[in-house]
Structure formats: structure tokens, C-alpha cells
Structure 1
């Protein structure tokens, strides 16, 4: 089992010293990766489910923040949970992600993308909320095409993106393409993970039967797309106080990575250290 951790800037703060201290401590503890959440813009009345989000929550750009973290660390992998892909142009994003990967010497490897749930965020970025699924599928294809293209360029003619003989450098560090994990809590997300993803990272508000059904669906879609279902990584959220029995249960469900979510801000480092000791992350 791999263990990563999420830095929830809206609750821990966007102070640069605190972010770097958190990242360095996570690396010293032995966590595999550090995840950052994403929102481009909030507004009064924005809700995720029944939770109304305070519009002043400080969401720094996750890619800028991860670049900043990469310069101060040596080993820890860089992740997003989740990057709102339909609201970013994939031609620009391909360059940004490859640049971070090169500058970090191959650590931009936990990219997780999702659709977003706030209609006002889509409107603000000029995206039709109803098309964001198709737009995401197309953007994933564009990212991979640009990363794999050579000096002669690549072309694409889709519903949302079109270009001819486009060349994008630098390339990811030492690999043809960056892994793209799919986040979400819907069956559509599970299907997308099977058809296009290198991994599936479902949300936290699902019952056990629905979770199992979604994982089965992702694997079935992978088979239908002539992809290897066994190669699909399966990431789940966990808690800082989770017992070994819970980890064993998740492993039995096929989970390959656990991401520790929000922790009491007043006891961040102590709780991270205790978790690392309990699961021998430093070994």
C-alpha cells in the first residue's frame, strides 16, 4: 500500500512557509506524494452537495503551488485532487505539467483530474457546464497526443479543440506521457477511468456497494477499450487515525494508494509523524 497526504490550503492556509514546512515534513515522514485541491473561483451560494462553501476560502493554484513545493523537496511526488480539467485549455496545460515534471526531475506523477460541480465556476471560465464531461475526455486525449508528439507536430480535430502540426516541448521527464488519474463520485467518472485513466480516485461519499460497482465498471470499461484492467491504480481517501485493520480492508478491496485528508491544523506535524511511525513509512 502507498500512502500520500493532501494539503488542504483552504483550512491550513496559503502561507508559503507553512506549505513548505508541511511538504518537507511529509517527505521526511515517508509519504509517497502530496496532493493539492483545486477551485478556480468561488462565489456566494456555491455548494458541494449540501455544504455551502465560504467564498473567501483560499484556494491557491495547485500547479503553481506544486512547482513551489518541488523546489523545496527532493523525493515526494506531486499530485492534484482534483484538477478541474474542463476549465483549463489542454494545450497550455500540457506545457505546464511537462515543465513541472522536468523541473522536479519526474515527480509530477499523481495528476488526478475531475469535472467540477459548481455551475458558476464553469460559466466564469466560458465553459458550458453540460459539456464538461465531453470536454474533459477530449482534453485528456489532447494532453497525451501533445506529450507523445515529435518535431513534425501532431494534429487534432475535435468538438472543442482543433490544431494542425502542433509541437509541444519540453516532454515529461523520462516517460512518453504523464499518468492521468480520474477523480469523481459518479458512474460516468468510473467509466472515464476505465476508458482513459491510469487510475481511479473516487470521492468519499459513496456506500460500499456503489464503490464496488464503480470499480467493477471501471475495469469492465478498460477491457472493452482493450486496456489492461489490472494496470488501473485505485486510490481512496483515508484518515490520519485509521487503524491497520482499515488499511487491510482497503487493500482487500483492491486499493493501491490511500490519501490522508484533512487533519487538525493545530496538530498537523505530530499526527503525521505518528501515522508514519504506525505504518513504517520511513522504511
Structure 2
């Protein structure tokens, strides 16, 4: 089992010392990766399910934050949970992600993308809310095409994006393409993970039966697309105080990675929570 940590800018704030300290301590504790969420814009009345999102929540740009984290750390992998893919142009995004990966020496490896649930957010960036699933599918294809393309250029002609003989450099660190994990809590997200994703990271508000159905759906979709279902990583949210028995139950469900977050408000208490978690599960801690 791999363990990662989330840093929620809307609740922890965007203070650079706090973010850098959190990331460095997570790295010292042995967490595999640090994840940061995204909302591009909010508005009065925005809701995620039954939960209101106050419009003044400071959702910082996750990729800019991860660039900052990369400069403040040396080993921890960089992730998003989730990047709202339909609201980014994939030609620009391919460049940004590859640049972070090169500058971090190959650590931009936990990209998780989703569709977004706020119609007003889609409208603010000029994206038709109803087409965002198709747009995301196409964007994943564009990202991988650009990362894999050479000096001769690559061309693409789809419903949303089109270009001819495009060359995108630098390439991800070490060559190849970056992993793209799929986030979401729907069966459509599970199918997308199987057909196009390197992993599936479902949300938290699902029944155990629905979780099992979605994982089966992701794996069957992978097989149907000629991909290896066993290569699909399965990431889940956990809690910083979860006991070993809960982790064992996750492992029995096929989970390969658990992402937790500190719950304390005070940075020192957050660091203590991470340290206790690392000791509980025997993470490799770096001596001070």
C-alpha cells in the first residue's frame, strides 16, 4: 500500500511558509506524494452535492502550487485531486505539466483529472457543461499525443481541438508520457478510467456496493479497450486517524494507494498528525 497526503489550499490557506513546511514534513515522514485540489472560480450559491462552497475560499492554482512544492522538496511526488481537465486547453496543459516534471526531475506523476460539478464554473471559462466529458476524453488523447510526438510534429482533428504538425517540447522527464489518473464518483468516470486512465480515484460519497461495481466497471472497460485491467491503479481517500484494520480492508478491495489529510488547524499539530500516521504504518521517515 502507498500513502499520500493532501494539502487543501481553501482550508489551510496559501501561505508559502505553511505550504512548504507541510510538504517538507510530508516528505520527511515518507509520504509518496502530495496532492492539491482545484476550482478555477466559485460564485455565490455554488454547491458540491449538499455542501455549499463559500465564494471566498482561496483555491490556489494547483500546478503553480506544485511548482513551488517541487522547489521546496526533493523526493515527494506531485499530484492533483482533481485537476478540472475540461477547463484547460490540453496544448497549453501538456507544456505546463511536462515543464513541472522536467524541473522536478520526474515528480509530476500523480496527475488526477476530473470533470467538475459546478455549471457556473464551466460557463465562466466558456465550456459547455454538458459536453465536458467528451472534452476531457479528447484532452487526454491530445496530452499523450503531444508528449509522445517528435520533431516531425503531430496532428489532431477532433470535436473540440484541432492542430497540424505541432511539436511540444520539453518532453516529460526521461521520455515517455505522464500517468493520467481519473477522478470522479460516477460510472462514467469509472469507464473513462478503464478506457484511458492509468488509475481510478473515486470520491468519498459512495456505498460499498457502488464502489465495487465501479471498480469492476473500470477493469472491464480496460479489458474491452485492449488494456491490462491489472495495471490500473486504485486510489482512495482515507483519514489521518485510520487504524491498520481499515487499511487492510482497503487492500482487500484492491486499493493500491490511500490519500489522507491533516485535520488540525495549527501547522505544528498537522505535522504531529503526519508523524503519528507515518509511525503507525511504518513509512520510511527521514532523520532530521
Smaller-chain TM-score range?
Answer: over 0.9
Question: Which residue pairs with 2:153 in the alignment?
Answer: 153
- The SS at the match of 1:163 is strand
* Residues 135-191 of structure 1, C-alpha deviations (whole Å, 9 max, x = no match): 000000000000000000000000000000000000000131000000000000000
CA distance in 2, matches of 1:121, 1:262: 28
Pairing 1:103-182 to 2, within 5 Å after superposition: 103-182=103-182
Please name the residue that 2:278 is paired with.
276
The whole-number CA distance in structure 2 between the counterparts of 1:250 and 1:282 is: 21
Whether contact under 8 Å (1:23, 1:69) holds in the other structure is yes
* Correspondence for 2:261: 261
Q: Is the 8 A contact 1:8 1:262 kept in 2?
A: no
Partner of residue 50, structure 1:
50
Distance 1:59 1:17 in 2: 17
Q: Matches of 2:50 and 2:262 in 1, distance apart?
A: 19
Q: In the superposition, relative to structure 1, how do residues 262 and 205 fare at CA in structure 2: closer, same or farther (>3 Å)?
A: farther
Compute the TM-score of the two structures, normalised by the length of structure 2. Answer: 0.97
Deviations 1:121-142 (A, max 9, x none): 0000000000000000000000
SS in 2 for 1:271: helix
Deviation at 1:261, TM superposition (A): 3.0
- Does the CA contact (< 8 Å) of 1:66 and 1:78 recur in 2? yes
Residue aligning to 2:98 = 98
Q: Do the aligned residues in 1 keep the contact of 2:23 with 2:69 (CA within 8 Å)?
A: yes
Offset of residue 264 of structure 1: 1.7
1:1-283 equivalences under 5 Å are 1-266=1-266, 267-282=269-284
Deviations 1:201-230 (A, max 9, x none): 000000000000000000000000000000
CA RMSD of aligned residues (A): 0.7
Normalising by structure 1, we get a TM-score of: 0.99
How far off is 1:100 after superposition?
0.1
Equivalents in 1 of 2:74, 2:2: separation in Å?
18
Deviations 1:71-99 (A, max 9, x none): 01000000000000000000000000000
> Following the alignment from structure 2 to structure 1, what is the Cα–Cα distance between the partners of residues 265 and 14?
13
For the residues of structure 1 that align with 2:42 and 2:121, how far apart are their CA atoms? 7
User: What secondary structure does 2:25 align onto?
Assistant: helix
CA shift for structure 1 position 262: 4.9
Secondary structure of 2:131's match?
Answer: helix
User: How far has the Cα of 1:265 moved from its partner?
Assistant: 1.8
Moved over 2 A (4+): none
Give the distance between the partners of 1:14 and 1:55, measured in 2 at CA.
16
C-alpha distance in 1 between matches for 2:9 and 2:165: 39
List gaps (5 residues or longer) in structure 1. Answer: none
* Whole-angstrom CA distance in 2 between matches of 1:33 and 1:258: 10
Question: What is the rounded CA distance, in whole Å, between the counterparts of 1:112 and 1:167 in structure 2?
Answer: 24
Is the CA contact (8 Å cut-off) linking 1:40 and 1:59 kept in structure 2?
A: yes
Aligned residue pairs total 283
